[in-house]
Structure 1
């Protein structure tokens, strides 16, 4: 899925909802950036986490943010204006434009699963990390996400289109051995659950549904299906029958 145009705009709104703000805090606290460190964020998107990392490392550190989408980097540059440590730029994780062993830590939030050559990406991340450097990767097993409320057939059609939105839609299940092959050790996996019992704009599910609907429309789902699904979700919420759950997995590892 390309994060450009409407899809980039929806993702940027999603990044500001309360559930994702809480997730950013969890990732940042686990990564524990230190003053003066050099950090790399893969798939920095609109730059909200990058901003927090740059403030944490301070003016003598570096928070380099990489994204393949010009739309996302434009948003990240605006978000990080006036913060000297923040350096967002267009780039490809499969061929990082940095020397060997230059970063103290790297983080990727819902990013690596979109890279077809994921093992190449992991090897590049390991290359630019110092020995002992930290890598934190948050991704979701998307087939385990659960929607309750709308008509089952509508949900099935949207979910079917969503299955191909990422090259590796269930990356956490396969990530640990991939990291070991790339030269990482000390691998741990922790759940960062999201539960929404309402369908308001503060909820992750509200914006995720719009992202899924936009992707389904791009994929040629029958006209009106995406709109009908969103309307069914809103109707279920009005009746007190809406529920959504998802369990992103935060995988942490150390460069050997």
Structure 2
């Protein structure tokens, strides 16, 4: 699942490119460590995409464990299955995060990485993960808060028009980052750790990889957020002058509590 899911190849390329950035490698490793996966654990990756993190999870769970990846995009599922074909402990399935195809309390560890910003009902997804997690099982969540996106530009109104387009049109749940702790507690989890680390980008090409600046500027024009003249001046400035962009990125480590009877 991406902020630029247009075609399967574009989506896979986008996820692979973002996962290869230093910032992504760092937070992904931190959250895998926080899951404290032990040999033999059953680990669920909700919204696994093209299988970006399945191999690392499989290594942690060992040959006696199992890694279960689900995604609602059949093209992503096919890509992940092909990539994990030589790993017998990894099973990738087409499924909706709102209706997980697993028994109650059958999962030891779970993760959802940049998934809840896209789903129809984040609270329902968190409740469904809680249903399948065993008591004491751990969940990690990671989401940008697109409503905090800021890009430096000489014309603040133009910059705000672009960031408003990204928040309102590119992602379904624009403020999900700040909502994670509350939604997790309401779903029955105990918070173990909450972090907000601002992503800071100081070169245009990295921002192009993460934010799709050119294509989203074109779409902002088509959607009426920017004029063509403003868009041209906007991109001209971003590519020629000192670049700066930042957005909040929230991670949560939570523990599943016993279900209320």
TM-score tier by shorter-chain length is 0.7 to 0.9
Residue aligning to 1:129: 133
User: TM-score under structure 1 normalisation?
Assistant: 0.84
Unmatched 5+ stretches in structure 2: none
Residue aligning to 1:23: 27
- How far off its partner does 1:98 sit? 0.5
Distance 1:14 1:124, change over 3 A: same
Residue aligning to 2:209: 207
| Distance (Å, rounded) in 1 between the aligned partners of 2:202 and 2:220 | 28
State how many pairs are aligned.
252
Distance 1:112 1:236, change over 3 A: closer
- How far off its partner does 1:174 sit? 2.4
| Distance (Å, rounded) in 2 between the aligned partners of 1:243 and 1:2 | 21
Residue aligning to 1:80: 84
More relative contact order, 1 or 2 (CA 8 Å, 6+ apart): 1
SS at match of 1:141: strand
Distance 1:209 1:35, change over 3 A: same
Q: Deviations over 1:156-201 (max 9, x none)?
A: 333222223333211232232322222212343112332221123x
Correspondent of 1:236 among 235, 238, 254: 238
Correspondent of 2:152 among 136, 148, 151: 148
Which deviates the most, 140-149 or 211-220?
211-220
Unmatched 5+ stretches in structure 1: none
**Preserved CA contact (<8 Å) 2:221 2:231:** no
Residue aligning to 1:198: 203
Residue aligning to 1:166: 171
Q: Deviations over 1:210-244 (max 9, x none)?
A: 178349629943599699859855753543x1012
> Is 2:112 the counterpart of 1:108?
yes
| Distance (Å, rounded) in 1 between the aligned partners of 2:179 and 2:225 | 35
Correspondent of 2:186 among 172, 175, 181: 181
Distance 1:216 1:118, change over 3 A: farther
> Is 2:256 the counterpart of 1:255?
yes
**Preserved CA contact (<8 Å) 1:100 1:128:** yes
- How far off its partner does 1:141 sit? 1.5
| Distance (Å, rounded) in 2 between the aligned partners of 1:227 and 1:130 | 55
Which deviates the most, 182-191 or 41-50?
182-191
**Preserved CA contact (<8 Å) 1:150 1:229:** no
Residue aligning to 2:56: 52
SS at match of 1:246: strand
> Is 2:14 the counterpart of 1:10?
yes
Distance 1:216 1:29, change over 3 A: farther
